[in-house]
């Protein structure tokens, strides 16, 4: 479990966090979203113990591991040596460490490159290695800051599957991302950050409820568009009033992108 309460952090005249609070239960993936400057990375650094807040506190139950947005690997070491280092720092030894290395390498599609140096790996392989350093000890709390930025499809799929498995095993996960569809794939709850605080929190369904979608109806020579919170009912009403053939119908339901735009305007 992770609980951040009233975090405040200032850098000179800049307020990075302004009463930031977030609670994540075991087994939950909390997707933390927000534009650059919203406070996501500062929260990540405080939760990981890298930065001390000016006010507020973070409580973590169990072991925490983290993967930052920027790659933080030793170019001259091999993947195996890197995983041995991070696994050892987490307290794994001998056979348990060897098994953990083999398991996370298989999970992240790194088995074939275990003995290659980090410097000669592809970008996707390096990104998967970094994620593996946070996953190897199966922590109780897992922080991931933009883990798939610049990643290839194989890396993205492997990481999302690994994160889902960790949550299913009971880990509390904070997943910072700009890629909102990933949160749907993960079945994550959502925390929207703006100006150093969380301005909305809940499941995707809860936060999207009531947001407008769009109905588009294409006739022979006309396109009709209608913004509505109930696209199905609006479409039925629209079709009842038409006396011309319909060539195409498209219903776009509200998405997480719509949610963030709406919250950004309102707060």
User: Which parts of 34-122 fold into alpha helices (H)?
Assistant: 40-47, 79-89, 94-107
pTM, whole model, 2 decimals?
Answer: 0.84
pLDDT at 259: 77
Each domain of the chain, given as residue ranges in start order, spans 2-203, 210-266
pLDDT at 133: 96
CA distance 229 to 209: 8
pLDDT at 264: 65
Q: How far is CA 131 from the centre of its chain?
A: 13
Write out the H or E segment, with its range, that includes residue 15. Answer: strand 14-24
Per-residue pLDDT tens for 184-221? 899 999 999 989 999 999 998 888 877 888 888 888 87
Share of the chain above pLDDT 70, in %: 98
227 DSSP β-pair partners: 214
pLDDT at 247: 85
Residue with tokens 């509390």: 172
Count the residues in the chain: 267
160 token code pair: 């999302």
pLDDT at 15: 95
CATH for 2-203, among 3.30.420.80, 3.50.50.60, 3.40.50.300, 3.40.710.10?
A: 3.40.50.300
Q: Distances in Å between the alpha carbon of 94 and those of 58, 79, 101?
A: 33, 17, 11
Q: What stretches in the chain show pLDDT beneath 50?
A: none
CA distance 84 to 94: 10
pLDDT at 31: 96
Cα of first residue to Cα of last residue in the chain, in angstroms, is: 29
- At 227, give phi and psi (nearest 5°): -90, 130
36 token code pair: 């650059």
pLDDT at 105: 97
């Amino acid at each position: 479990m992770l609980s951040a309460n009233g975090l405040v952090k200032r850098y000179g005249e800049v307020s990075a966090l302004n009463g930031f609070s977030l609670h994540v239960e075991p087994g939950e993936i909390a997707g933390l979203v927000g534009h650059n400057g919203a406070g996501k990375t500062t929260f990540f650094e405080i939760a990981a113990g890298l930065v001390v807040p000016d006010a507020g506190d973070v409580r973590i139950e169990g072991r925490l591991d983290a993967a930052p947005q920027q790659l933080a690997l030793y170019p001259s070491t091999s993947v195996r040596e890197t995983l041995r280092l991070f696994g050892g720092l987490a307290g794994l030894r001998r056979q348990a460490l060897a098994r953990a290395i083999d398991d996370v390498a298989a999970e992240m599609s790194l088995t074939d490159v275990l003995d290659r140096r980090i410097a000669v790996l592809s970008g996707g392989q390096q990104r998967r290695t970094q994620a593996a350093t946070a996953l190897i000890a199966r922590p109780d709390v897992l922080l991931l800051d933009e883990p798939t930025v610049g990643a290839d499809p194989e890396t993205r799929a492997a990481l999302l599957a690994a994160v889902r498995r960790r949550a299913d095993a009971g880990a509390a996960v904070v997943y910072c991302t700009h890629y909102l569809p990933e949160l749907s794939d993960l079945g994550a709850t959502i925390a929207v950050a703006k100006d150093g605080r969380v301005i909305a929190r809940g499941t995707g369904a809860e936060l999207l409820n009531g947001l407008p979608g769009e109905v588009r109806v294409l006739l022979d020579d006309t396109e009709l568009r209608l913004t509505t919170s109930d696209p199905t009912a609006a479409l039925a009403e629209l079709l009842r009033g038409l006396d011309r053939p319909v060539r195409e119908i498209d219903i776009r339901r509200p998405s997480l992108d719509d949610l963030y735009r709406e919250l950004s305007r309102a707060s």
